Amino acid sequence: MNDWIAIGALALVGLLIPLGMMVVSYLLRPSVPETSKRATYESGEIPTGGTRVRFNIQYYMVALLFLVFDIETVFLFPWAVAYLDALESDAVSLLEALGPMLLFVAILLVGLAWAWRNGAVQWAQTPRQVEADSDRQ
């Protein structure tokens, strides 16, 4: 049997279970509308301002960094699968099997070092770091 049929079947079951629970809940639950019951929760205070707040730019930096490394892992998977077989078949030497991967990872780690140095993965700075930064400029 095809594996993906079974996986598709579990995807279907995975959808049916939440939907089933939602139906049961719909049949059981009461509805008691009250004034401002549906207001946005802000610890019991009257909500102020919009909720689409500005957020730290660091979230964006980290996401960019992730994209690069995620693609890297995708490229590393085939290498990891083939590595031991390639060595045992004696078709390639250790250097030929390992070298390109090391170079590939090294290039990305240089990128990480650059991002690290520029504070892309640094959420908050201590006063001393702020001082060092202003000295450098």
Angstrom distance (rounded) from CA 96 to CA 130: 45
Nearer to other proteins, 71 or 131 (CB): 71
State which of positions 43-102 bind other proteins (CB under 8 A): 43, 51-53, 55, 58-59, 62-63, 65-66, 69-70, 73, 76-77, 80-85, 87-88, 94, 97-98, 101-102
**Can residue 134 be called a binding residue for other proteins (CB under 8 A)?**
no
- First-residue to last-residue Cα distance in the chain: 65
Give me the sign of the Cα torsion angle 11, 12, 17, 20.
positive
Nearer to other proteins, 116 or 131 (CB): 116
Number of amino acids touching other proteins (CB under 8 A): 71
Angstrom distance (rounded) from CA 115 to CA 136: 17
